[in-house]
Structure 1
Amino acid sequence: MTTVNQVQRPDETVQIVDASNNPTGSATRSEMRANNLIHRCSFTMVFNKQGELYVQKRVAFKETYASHYDPAPGGVVGAGESYEENAEREIDEEMGITGVELQKQFDFFYSDDVCRLWGRLFSCRYDGDFKLDPDEVESGRFMSLQEVAGLLRSGPVCPDSWAAVQKYFQKHAPGLLSPECSPE
Protein backbone atom coordinates (compact mmCIF):
# COMPACT_ATOMS: atom_id res chain seq x y z
CA MET A 1 0.00 0.00 0.00
CA THR A 2 1.29 3.43 -0.96
CA THR A 3 1.19 6.12 1.68
CA VAL A 4 0.79 9.87 1.41
CA ASN A 5 3.48 11.98 3.08
CA GLN A 6 2.78 15.49 4.29
CA VAL A 7 0.94 17.33 1.50
CA GLN A 8 3.16 19.80 -0.32
CA ARG A 9 1.43 23.15 -0.98
CA PRO A 10 -1.72 22.08 0.98
CA ASP A 11 -3.62 25.32 0.24
CA GLU A 12 -3.07 25.19 -3.54
CA THR A 13 -6.44 25.07 -5.36
CA VAL A 14 -6.71 22.18 -7.83
CA GLN A 15 -9.20 21.21 -10.54
CA ILE A 16 -11.64 18.48 -9.48
CA VAL A 17 -13.40 16.40 -12.15
CA ASP A 18 -15.90 13.56 -12.34
CA ALA A 19 -15.35 10.02 -13.63
CA SER A 20 -15.83 11.29 -17.21
CA ASN A 21 -13.26 14.11 -16.81
CA ASN A 22 -15.87 16.88 -16.61
CA PRO A 23 -14.96 19.73 -14.23
CA THR A 24 -17.06 19.69 -11.06
CA GLY A 25 -15.30 22.42 -9.08
CA SER A 26 -12.11 22.88 -7.15
CA ALA A 27 -10.63 21.90 -3.81
CA THR A 28 -7.45 22.51 -1.91
CA ARG A 29 -4.68 20.05 -2.52
CA SER A 30 -5.01 18.78 1.07
CA GLU A 31 -8.79 18.20 0.62
CA MET A 32 -8.13 16.41 -2.68
CA ARG A 33 -5.58 14.08 -1.04
CA ALA A 34 -7.63 13.50 2.14
CA ASN A 35 -10.73 12.48 0.15
CA ASN A 36 -8.94 10.93 -2.86
CA LEU A 37 -10.93 13.22 -5.18
CA ILE A 38 -10.60 12.74 -8.93
CA HIS A 39 -8.37 15.47 -10.33
CA ARG A 40 -6.31 16.21 -13.42
CA CYS A 41 -2.56 15.75 -13.91
CA SER A 42 -0.17 16.38 -16.75
CA PHE A 43 2.63 13.97 -17.63
CA THR A 44 5.53 14.68 -20.03
CA MET A 45 7.93 12.21 -21.61
CA VAL A 46 11.16 14.09 -22.39
CA PHE A 47 13.22 12.57 -25.22
CA ASN A 48 16.65 13.62 -26.48
CA LYS A 49 17.85 13.52 -30.10
CA GLN A 50 19.10 9.93 -29.59
CA GLY A 51 15.56 8.83 -28.71
CA GLU A 52 16.42 8.23 -25.04
CA LEU A 53 13.84 9.04 -22.36
CA TYR A 54 14.60 11.23 -19.35
CA VAL A 55 13.76 9.49 -16.06
CA GLN A 56 13.90 11.31 -12.76
CA LYS A 57 13.88 10.01 -9.20
CA ARG A 58 11.48 11.76 -6.85
CA VAL A 59 12.64 13.03 -3.47
CA ALA A 60 12.03 10.88 -0.37
CA PHE A 61 9.62 13.43 1.11
CA LYS A 62 7.37 13.75 -1.99
CA GLU A 63 3.70 13.56 -0.95
CA THR A 64 2.93 10.55 -3.18
CA TYR A 65 5.21 7.84 -4.59
CA ALA A 66 8.23 9.10 -2.64
CA SER A 67 11.64 7.90 -3.91
CA HIS A 68 10.01 6.38 -7.00
CA TYR A 69 11.39 6.74 -10.52
CA ASP A 70 9.27 8.87 -12.84
CA PRO A 71 9.56 8.37 -16.61
CA ALA A 72 6.82 10.96 -17.30
CA PRO A 73 7.13 13.82 -14.78
CA GLY A 74 4.28 16.25 -14.36
CA GLY A 75 1.90 17.49 -11.77
CA VAL A 76 -1.55 18.28 -10.50
CA VAL A 77 -3.53 20.72 -12.67
CA GLY A 78 -4.55 23.86 -10.82
CA ALA A 79 -8.08 25.27 -10.82
CA GLY A 80 -8.59 27.18 -14.07
CA GLU A 81 -5.35 25.81 -15.56
CA SER A 82 -5.25 23.77 -18.79
CA TYR A 83 -3.34 20.51 -19.13
CA GLU A 84 -0.95 22.29 -21.51
CA GLU A 85 -0.31 25.20 -19.14
CA ASN A 86 0.29 22.75 -16.31
CA ALA A 87 2.70 20.61 -18.35
CA GLU A 88 4.73 23.67 -19.36
CA ARG A 89 4.81 24.95 -15.78
CA GLU A 90 5.77 21.57 -14.30
CA ILE A 91 8.68 20.79 -16.63
CA ASP A 92 9.99 24.32 -16.04
CA GLU A 93 9.66 24.09 -12.23
CA GLU A 94 10.97 20.54 -11.84
CA MET A 95 13.66 20.39 -14.54
CA GLY A 96 14.22 23.91 -15.90
CA ILE A 97 12.89 23.00 -19.36
CA THR A 98 11.42 25.90 -21.35
CA GLY A 99 10.72 26.67 -24.98
CA VAL A 100 9.90 23.13 -26.10
CA GLU A 101 6.99 22.07 -28.29
CA LEU A 102 4.70 19.73 -26.39
CA GLN A 103 3.03 16.99 -28.41
CA LYS A 104 -0.25 15.74 -26.97
CA GLN A 105 -0.31 11.93 -26.90
CA PHE A 106 -3.55 10.88 -25.14
CA ASP A 107 -5.75 11.19 -22.06
CA PHE A 108 -6.13 8.31 -19.59
CA PHE A 109 -7.73 7.48 -16.24
CA TYR A 110 -5.66 6.14 -13.34
CA SER A 111 -6.81 5.07 -9.88
CA ASP A 112 -5.22 3.50 -6.80
CA ASP A 113 -5.65 3.75 -3.03
CA VAL A 114 -4.06 7.24 -2.81
CA CYS A 115 -4.71 8.80 -6.20
CA ARG A 116 -7.56 9.04 -8.73
CA LEU A 117 -6.84 11.16 -11.77
CA TRP A 118 -7.42 11.96 -15.39
CA GLY A 119 -4.01 12.38 -16.97
CA ARG A 120 -2.86 13.84 -20.25
CA LEU A 121 0.43 12.57 -21.60
CA PHE A 122 2.65 14.88 -23.62
CA SER A 123 6.03 14.30 -25.18
CA CYS A 124 8.79 16.68 -26.21
CA ARG A 125 12.39 16.74 -27.33
CA TYR A 126 14.99 18.45 -25.20
CA ASP A 127 18.77 18.42 -25.46
CA GLY A 128 19.68 21.23 -23.08
CA ASP A 129 20.82 21.42 -19.50
CA PHE A 130 18.59 20.49 -16.57
CA LYS A 131 18.06 22.55 -13.42
CA LEU A 132 16.47 20.05 -11.03
CA ASP A 133 14.29 21.39 -8.21
CA PRO A 134 15.68 19.87 -4.96
CA ASP A 135 12.17 20.00 -3.42
CA GLU A 136 10.87 17.68 -6.17
CA VAL A 137 13.69 15.73 -7.83
CA GLU A 138 16.57 13.77 -6.30
CA SER A 139 18.27 12.89 -9.60
CA GLY A 140 17.64 12.12 -13.24
CA ARG A 141 19.20 10.86 -16.45
CA PHE A 142 18.39 9.81 -20.01
CA MET A 143 17.83 6.07 -20.55
CA SER A 144 17.36 3.92 -23.62
CA LEU A 145 13.82 2.62 -24.11
CA GLN A 146 15.10 -0.86 -23.26
CA GLU A 147 16.50 0.47 -19.96
CA VAL A 148 13.17 2.19 -19.24
CA ALA A 149 11.31 -1.08 -19.96
CA GLY A 150 13.62 -2.84 -17.50
CA LEU A 151 12.97 -0.14 -14.91
CA LEU A 152 9.21 -0.52 -15.42
CA ARG A 153 9.61 -4.25 -14.70
CA SER A 154 11.82 -3.79 -11.61
CA GLY A 155 10.59 -0.51 -10.08
CA PRO A 156 9.87 1.32 -8.00
CA VAL A 157 8.14 3.51 -10.59
CA CYS A 158 5.32 6.00 -10.00
CA PRO A 159 2.30 3.87 -10.94
CA ASP A 160 0.40 6.71 -12.65
CA SER A 161 3.40 7.50 -14.88
CA TRP A 162 3.92 3.76 -15.34
CA ALA A 163 0.37 3.48 -16.74
CA ALA A 164 0.96 6.38 -19.14
CA VAL A 165 4.32 5.10 -20.38
CA GLN A 166 2.99 1.55 -20.79
CA LYS A 167 0.16 2.85 -23.01
CA TYR A 168 2.67 4.96 -24.98
CA PHE A 169 4.95 1.93 -25.49
CA GLN A 170 1.98 -0.21 -26.62
CA LYS A 171 1.34 2.33 -29.38
CA HIS A 172 4.90 3.34 -30.34
CA ALA A 173 7.11 0.40 -29.30
CA PRO A 174 4.91 -2.73 -29.27
CA GLY A 175 6.58 -5.74 -27.71
CA LEU A 176 8.89 -3.70 -25.49
CA LEU A 177 6.84 -4.62 -22.40
CA SER A 178 5.34 -8.01 -21.75
CA PRO A 179 1.61 -8.07 -20.88
CA GLU A 180 2.28 -9.34 -17.35
CA CYS A 181 4.54 -6.37 -16.57
CA SER A 182 2.99 -4.22 -13.85
CA PRO A 183 4.19 -1.51 -11.46
CA GLU A 184 5.99 -2.41 -8.20
Structure 2
Amino acid sequence: MNAADEVLDVVDENDRVIGQAPRGEVYARGLIHRCTFIQVRDARNRIFVHRRTPTKLVFPSLYDMFVGGVVGAGESYDDAALREAQEELGVSGLARPKQVTKFLYDSEGVAGKWWSAVYEVRCDQPVRPQAEEVAWHAFLTEEELMARLSEWEWVPDGRAAYERLLAHRTG
Protein backbone atom coordinates (compact mmCIF):
# COMPACT_ATOMS: atom_id res chain seq x y z
CA MET A 1 0.00 0.00 0.00
CA ASN A 2 1.36 3.43 -0.85
CA ALA A 3 1.12 6.39 1.54
CA ALA A 4 -1.84 7.98 -0.29
CA ASP A 5 -3.92 4.84 0.35
CA GLU A 6 -3.33 4.73 4.11
CA VAL A 7 -6.66 5.22 5.93
CA LEU A 8 -6.81 8.04 8.49
CA ASP A 9 -9.37 9.20 10.99
CA VAL A 10 -11.02 12.43 9.89
CA VAL A 11 -11.66 14.69 12.89
CA ASP A 12 -13.43 17.97 13.62
CA GLU A 13 -12.12 21.26 15.07
CA ASN A 14 -12.38 19.68 18.55
CA ASP A 15 -10.37 16.57 17.56
CA ARG A 16 -13.40 14.26 17.61
CA VAL A 17 -13.47 11.47 15.00
CA ILE A 18 -16.19 12.11 12.39
CA GLY A 19 -15.15 9.60 9.72
CA GLN A 20 -12.32 7.91 7.87
CA ALA A 21 -10.71 8.42 4.46
CA PRO A 22 -7.54 7.52 2.54
CA ARG A 23 -4.65 9.94 3.14
CA GLY A 24 -4.65 11.12 -0.50
CA GLU A 25 -8.33 12.08 -0.22
CA VAL A 26 -7.79 13.70 3.19
CA TYR A 27 -5.04 15.91 1.70
CA ALA A 28 -6.92 16.66 -1.54
CA ARG A 29 -10.11 17.67 0.26
CA GLY A 30 -8.31 19.50 3.08
CA LEU A 31 -9.89 17.36 5.80
CA ILE A 32 -8.73 17.65 9.40
CA HIS A 33 -6.66 14.69 10.58
CA ARG A 34 -4.08 13.83 13.24
CA CYS A 35 -0.26 13.90 13.24
CA THR A 36 2.57 13.33 15.68
CA PHE A 37 5.81 15.28 16.02
CA ILE A 38 8.54 13.64 18.10
CA GLN A 39 11.69 15.53 19.05
CA VAL A 40 14.44 12.96 19.53
CA ARG A 41 17.53 13.65 21.61
CA ASP A 42 20.58 11.43 21.88
CA ALA A 43 22.65 10.61 24.98
CA ARG A 44 24.55 13.91 24.53
CA ASN A 45 21.22 15.83 24.45
CA ARG A 46 21.60 16.67 20.75
CA ILE A 47 18.48 16.87 18.55
CA PHE A 48 17.88 14.55 15.61
CA VAL A 49 17.51 16.68 12.46
CA HIS A 50 16.87 15.38 8.97
CA ARG A 51 15.99 16.33 5.42
CA ARG A 52 12.90 14.64 4.05
CA THR A 53 13.09 12.62 0.87
CA PRO A 54 11.83 14.16 -2.39
CA THR A 55 9.11 11.48 -2.59
CA LYS A 56 7.21 12.69 0.51
CA LEU A 57 3.57 13.65 -0.19
CA VAL A 58 3.81 16.87 1.84
CA PHE A 59 6.83 19.17 2.19
CA PRO A 60 9.30 17.02 0.17
CA SER A 61 13.05 17.67 0.53
CA LEU A 62 12.66 20.12 3.44
CA TYR A 63 14.46 19.92 6.77
CA ASP A 64 12.71 18.82 9.96
CA MET A 65 13.65 18.75 13.64
CA PHE A 66 11.03 16.10 14.38
CA VAL A 67 10.28 12.57 13.30
CA GLY A 68 6.64 11.59 13.12
CA GLY A 69 3.73 11.43 10.80
CA VAL A 70 0.03 10.80 10.47
CA VAL A 71 -1.98 8.89 13.03
CA GLY A 72 -3.66 5.90 11.39
CA ALA A 73 -7.39 5.17 11.63
CA GLY A 74 -8.21 3.88 15.11
CA GLU A 75 -4.66 4.52 16.38
CA SER A 76 -3.91 6.64 19.46
CA TYR A 77 -1.51 9.59 19.34
CA ASP A 78 0.79 7.79 21.82
CA ASP A 79 0.90 4.58 19.77
CA ALA A 80 1.49 6.52 16.55
CA ALA A 81 4.32 8.52 18.17
CA LEU A 82 6.12 5.36 19.27
CA ARG A 83 5.54 3.61 15.92
CA GLU A 84 6.66 6.60 13.85
CA ALA A 85 9.76 7.27 15.97
CA GLN A 86 10.91 3.64 15.79
CA GLU A 87 10.20 3.40 12.05
CA GLU A 88 11.90 6.63 11.05
CA LEU A 89 14.90 6.14 13.34
CA GLY A 90 15.26 2.46 12.45
CA VAL A 91 15.34 1.35 16.10
CA SER A 92 13.31 -0.94 18.32
CA GLY A 93 12.66 -0.91 22.04
CA LEU A 94 12.48 2.88 22.20
CA ALA A 95 10.93 4.33 25.36
CA ARG A 96 7.39 5.62 24.90
CA PRO A 97 7.62 9.30 23.83
CA LYS A 98 6.18 11.84 26.29
CA GLN A 99 3.52 14.22 24.96
CA VAL A 100 4.30 17.86 25.68
CA THR A 101 1.62 19.83 23.83
CA LYS A 102 -1.02 19.63 21.09
CA PHE A 103 -2.32 22.24 18.64
CA LEU A 104 -4.33 22.55 15.43
CA TYR A 105 -2.07 23.39 12.48
CA ASP A 106 -3.40 25.00 9.30
CA SER A 107 -1.28 24.27 6.22
CA GLU A 108 -2.98 27.14 4.38
CA GLY A 109 -4.09 25.11 1.40
CA VAL A 110 -1.25 22.56 1.17
CA ALA A 111 -3.06 19.62 2.77
CA GLY A 112 -5.72 20.97 5.11
CA LYS A 113 -5.44 21.17 8.88
CA TRP A 114 -4.12 18.63 11.33
CA TRP A 115 -4.10 18.17 15.05
CA SER A 116 -0.43 18.09 15.97
CA ALA A 117 0.63 16.20 19.10
CA VAL A 118 4.19 17.16 20.04
CA TYR A 119 6.37 14.66 21.91
CA GLU A 120 9.88 14.26 23.27
CA VAL A 121 11.95 11.08 23.59
CA ARG A 122 15.56 10.10 24.22
CA CYS A 123 17.24 7.60 21.91
CA ASP A 124 20.56 6.30 23.21
CA GLN A 125 20.94 3.62 20.54
CA PRO A 126 22.49 4.04 17.08
CA VAL A 127 19.92 5.18 14.52
CA ARG A 128 19.41 3.70 11.05
CA PRO A 129 16.94 6.15 9.51
CA GLN A 130 14.30 4.86 7.14
CA ALA A 131 15.59 5.52 3.60
CA GLU A 132 12.07 6.17 2.25
CA GLU A 133 11.60 8.99 4.78
CA VAL A 134 15.05 10.43 5.50
CA ALA A 135 17.49 11.69 2.84
CA TRP A 136 20.07 13.08 5.30
CA HIS A 137 20.36 13.23 9.09
CA ALA A 138 22.53 14.43 11.97
CA PHE A 139 22.27 15.12 15.67
CA LEU A 140 22.68 18.86 16.33
CA THR A 141 23.02 20.81 19.55
CA GLU A 142 20.20 23.24 20.32
CA GLU A 143 22.58 26.09 19.38
CA GLU A 144 23.46 24.48 16.03
CA LEU A 145 19.77 23.94 15.29
CA MET A 146 18.89 27.55 16.16
CA ALA A 147 21.70 28.81 13.87
CA ARG A 148 20.29 26.82 10.94
CA LEU A 149 16.69 27.97 11.36
CA SER A 150 17.38 30.93 9.08
CA GLU A 151 19.76 29.03 6.76
CA TRP A 152 17.79 25.92 5.79
CA GLU A 153 14.26 25.51 4.44
CA TRP A 154 12.22 23.82 7.18
CA VAL A 155 8.85 22.10 7.08
CA PRO A 156 6.38 24.76 8.22
CA ASP A 157 4.42 22.46 10.54
CA GLY A 158 7.66 21.36 12.21
CA ARG A 159 8.68 25.01 12.68
CA ALA A 160 5.29 25.70 14.30
CA ALA A 161 5.67 22.64 16.55
CA TYR A 162 9.23 23.66 17.49
CA GLU A 163 8.10 27.18 18.43
CA ARG A 164 5.33 25.73 20.62
CA LEU A 165 7.76 23.31 22.24
CA LEU A 166 10.17 26.15 23.04
CA ALA A 167 7.31 28.26 24.42
CA HIS A 168 6.19 25.33 26.58
CA ARG A 169 9.71 24.95 28.01
CA THR A 170 10.00 28.63 28.88
CA GLY A 171 6.35 29.12 29.84
Is the TM-score greater than 0.5?
yes
2:22 is the counterpart of 1:28:
yes
Equivalent residue number for residue 141 of structure 2: 144
Give the total of aligned pairs. Answer: 167
Tell me the TM-score normalised to structure 1 length: 0.85
Asked if the contact 1:151/1:157 (under 8 Å) is kept, the reply is no
Q: Structure 1 residue 101: deviation in Å?
A: 3.0
Task: Give 2:166's match in structure 1, choosing from 146, 169, 173.
Answer: 169
Give the distance between the partners of 2:26 and 2:168, measured in 1 at CA: 32
2:43 is the counterpart of 1:46:
no
2:3 is the counterpart of 1:9:
yes
Q: Structure 1 residue 130: deviation in Å?
A: 1.1
State the AA in 2 paired with 1:105. Answer: V
Give the distance between the partners of 1:36 and 1:129, measured in 2 at CA: 37
Equivalent residue number for residue 81 of structure 2: 87
Equivalent residue number for residue 106 of structure 2: 111
Tell me which moved more, 67-76 or 152-161.
152-161
Determine helix, strand or coil for the equivalent of 1:146.
helix
State the AA in 1 paired with 2:110. Answer: V
User: Percentage identity across aligned positions?
Assistant: 32
Equivalent residue number for residue 102 of structure 1: 97
Q: Structure 1 residue 40: deviation in Å?
A: 0.1
Give the distance between the partners of 1:49 and 1:169, measured in 2 at CA: 20
Give the distance between the partners of 1:101 and 1:20, measured in 2 at CA: 25
Asked if the contact 1:73/1:161 (under 8 Å) is kept, the reply is no
Tell me which moved more, 145-154 or 32-41.
145-154
Structure 2: gaps spanning 5 or more residues: none
Give the distance between the partners of 1:169 and 1:108, measured in 2 at CA: 14
Equivalent residue number for residue 121 of structure 1: 118
Q: Structure 1 residue 153: deviation in Å?
A: 2.6
Asked if the contact 2:82/2:96 (under 8 Å) is kept, the reply is no
Task: Give 1:72's match in structure 2, choosing from 46, 66, 72.
Answer: 66
Determine helix, strand or coil for the equivalent of 1:10.
helix
Tell me the TM-score normalised to structure 2 length: 0.91
Equivalent residue number for residue 61 of structure 1: 55
Tell me which moved more, 70-79 or 144-153.
144-153
Determine helix, strand or coil for the equivalent of 1:33.
helix
Deviations 1:52-95 (A, max 9, x none): 11111100121111111110110111110001111111112211
Determine helix, strand or coil for the equivalent of 1:101.
coil
Give the distance between the partners of 1:13 and 1:127, measured in 2 at CA: 32
CA RMSD of aligned residues (A): 1.5
Deviations 1:71-123 (A, max 9, x none): 01101111100011111111122111332231110111111221310010110
Determine helix, strand or coil for the equivalent of 1:90.
helix
Asked if the contact 2:52/2:63 (under 8 Å) is kept, the reply is yes
State the 4+ residue runs in structure 1 displaced beyond 3 angstroms: none
